Amino acid sequence: MCAPAIITRSGRFVCGARFWLSVAALALVRDRSWLALSEKWNDVRTPTREPVTLCENHDDGTTPAQVFCSDCECALCRECFSVMHLHKRNRSHRVTSLAPPPARLEEIDIHQGCARMRVANLLILFHGESLNGLVELPSDPFAALTSATNIAAGRSTPSVCRFCGNALDPHNQLVGVCSHPDCVRFSATACCRNLPCGHPCGGIAGEKECLPCLVCDNEDTAQDGDDVCVVCFTDRLCAAPCVRLGCGHLLHYHCVRAVLEKRWPGPRIQFRFLNCPLCNVQMSHPGLTDLLDPLLALKAEVAQKANMRLEFDGLLGCTALMDPQRFAIGYILSSTKRQSLVNT
């Protein structure tokens, strides 16, 4: 279905039987090679890229421009615009926000074991084996289509919040964050740099190296902005600043800090919360050292006292405690041998 038809019949499109039949058909898609048989999918996977307007004050050839000053007649990034317009006589200049490149109107792919379909801002995830699905429907699911159509026609469009995706007021367009309390709280720890592709960095402030782009296709990570944070399971990764742990997995920064601050659940002390929920490897990140260092010191102290108790009880070299897997295998083999002797 073409974009104008979707825009003019948005309500009937979402409520129609054909749309939900296509959603149910995602349960049959198990392998990425099945999608390669479709010519339509191949066309969607290789869209034509529009040229990106670069900041005229930078000479690196990669910094994208976010605003255009009509009085200065130049395109600038946010940082250069703020510095060049500090003087009072420059604050009244007419400024126009440059719209980002139009996003893909359609996307169907197999990612993280799920069939994923995106139409405008409508995101659909379906796991065929467990028959679990997720349909994310924002307040205006066809806003991206409208924006793409306006950009193609040469009309300016309001920018959207980098976290929630809602339209920004004119006085918030340079900041890129709306006035919602959660978005304001996230902006306090978010990285303010822009990637060479033009999208804002999805990491936290103070990092030496920015995260890979969560919007564009990137081979450096198996996750992207549409993946759900496995700690909160309520928001996508692009909805808040993220950290890349030592194991390479991405999680929400505030979610990881909440887990480390709550520590172990219940009266029993255990340290599994220190591990990545995806690969069970101990978490590590420079932005979490203020919480990780005391917890790791406590873990080492608990292990030391446990070894002292085992040594006092004479159980320090006990196979059942030091190597439970080996003990279990030996116990099973000995039990089988005894049972065979009894039968004979």
Q: Minimum mean pLDDT among 24-38, 56-70, 258-272, 277-291: which range?
A: 24-38
Q: Minimum mean pLDDT among 50-64, 65-79, 150-164, 290-304: which range?
A: 150-164
Tell me the C-alpha to C-alpha distance, in Å, between residue 183 and each of 85, 135, 143, 153, 230: 26, 22, 20, 31, 20
State how far the Cα of 147 lies from the Cα of 140, in Å rounded to an integer: 12
Q: What is the pLDDT of residues 196-242, one digit of tens each?
A: 888 889 999 989 889 888 888 777 777 888 777 888 877 888 889 99
Which amino acid, one-letter code, is at 178? Answer: C
Nearest CA-CA partner of 195 in 96, 60, 67: 60
Q: What is the residue whose two structure tokens read 């479709």?
A: 38
Q: What pLDDT is recorded for position 142?
A: 43
Q: What pLDDT is recorded for position 292?
A: 95
**Residue 159 reports pLDDT greater than 50:** yes
**Residue 179 reports pLDDT greater than 80:** yes
Tell me the C-alpha to C-alpha distance, in Å, between residue 253 and each of 186, 231, 239: 9, 10, 11
Chain centroid offset of residue 54 CA: 26
At residue 151 the predicted structure's pLDDT band, cuts being 50, 70 and 90, is very low
Q: What pLDDT is recorded for position 41?
A: 61
Give the residue ranges of DSSP H helices in the chain: 3-8, 10-15, 17-25, 32-35, 39-45, 78-84, 143-152, 181-187, 253-262, 289-313, 319-322, 324-343
Q: What average pLDDT does the segment 18-26 reach? A: 72
Q: What pLDDT is recorded for position 22?
A: 72
Tell me the three state secondary structure of residue 95. Answer: strand
